[in-house]
Amino acid sequence: GQQVMQIPQYQHVQEGEDFTTYCNSSTTLSNIQWYKQRPGGHPVFLIQLVKSGEVKKQKRLTFQFGEAKKNSSLHITATQTTDVGTYFCAGRGSSNTGKLIFGQGTTLQVKP
Amino acid sequence: GAVVSQHPSWVICKSGTSVKIECRSLDFQATTMFWYRQFPKQSLMLMATSNEGSKATYEQGVEKDKFLINHASLTLSTLTVTSAHPEDSSFYICSARDGTHSPYEQYFGPGTRLTVT
């Protein structure tokens, strides 16, 4: 079945450094979503990417969707302590109404 | 924005008892609701998908008779953990999809932390 792999599992950075997490799917996706989960909290929707090669920005966050629609990345520029949390990618299969499969998540720690 | 509520937010129960968790979409009609389970420091694992008025579709390895899902209306779905055991202790999160709007974004509830003693 469809699998979504995410790396790295953990990342510790100094405040101000950049951070990137990568997501790869075993199958072509119709779209991919990114979520952030703070410790003790629930996943909060960040963004959805739909088009091949799409790039979207939210302030210091840059999201990319690969040309083959099988991989994606989230890049944070100049991390801040408020960026701490676990970032999940979640891919939806070939159907736009298919189920969302979550990656394992990347937990980001930021040292002040 | 769309809001999904869950009740209770946490529950402690004794082994062998049943627990019901409610998931409500507050300001939209959820044509589809999803139930996830998350163990500590792990990802969200989809348990089942339910469409209003029809039987839930369970993921492989999830026991239908143990995790009863009812999606009786467009704003309410319930998950009942029957004959709970300590290994069922987990964070249960529901998600609702507003099927009338693109891009079929899923909205997550705040989760229910279940502890079985």
Integer Cα distance of B25 and B52 in angstroms:
12
Longest CA span, chain B? 43
Question: What is the per-residue pLDDT for B117?
Answer: 96
Radius of gyration of chain A (CA): 13
pLDDT in tens, A48-74: 999 999 999 999 999 999 999 999 999
Q: If interface means Cβ-Cβ distance under 8 Å, which residues of chain A face chain B?
A: 1, 31, 33, 35, 41-45, 48, 50, 88, 92, 96-97, 99-105, 107
B105 and A CB contact within 8 Å: yes
Q: pLDDT grade, residue B20 (50/70/90)?
A: very high
Residue B17: CB atoms within 10 A of its CB come to 12
Q: Which residues contact A56 (CB under 8 A, 6 or more apart)?
A: A47, A49, A62, A63
- pLDDT at residue B98 in the model: 78
For tokens 């507003």, name the residue.
B98
* Cβ within 8 Å, pair B99-A97: yes
Instruction: List, for residues A71-96, the tens digit of each pLDDT value.
Output: 999 999 999 999 999 999 999 886 65
pLDDT-based confidence at B101, cuts 50/70/90? low
Instruction: Identify the band that residue B103 occupies on the pLDDT scale cut at 50, 70 and 90.
Output: low
Return the pLDDT at A66. Answer: 97
B23-65 pLDDT per residue, tens = 999 988 888 899 999 998 889 999 999 988 888 999 999 999 9
> Which tokens go with A79?
């991390």
Distance from the B110 Cα atom to the nearest Cα atom in chain A, whole angstroms: 5
Give the per-residue pLDDT at B106.
80
C-beta of residue B84 within 8 angstroms of C-beta of residue B15: yes
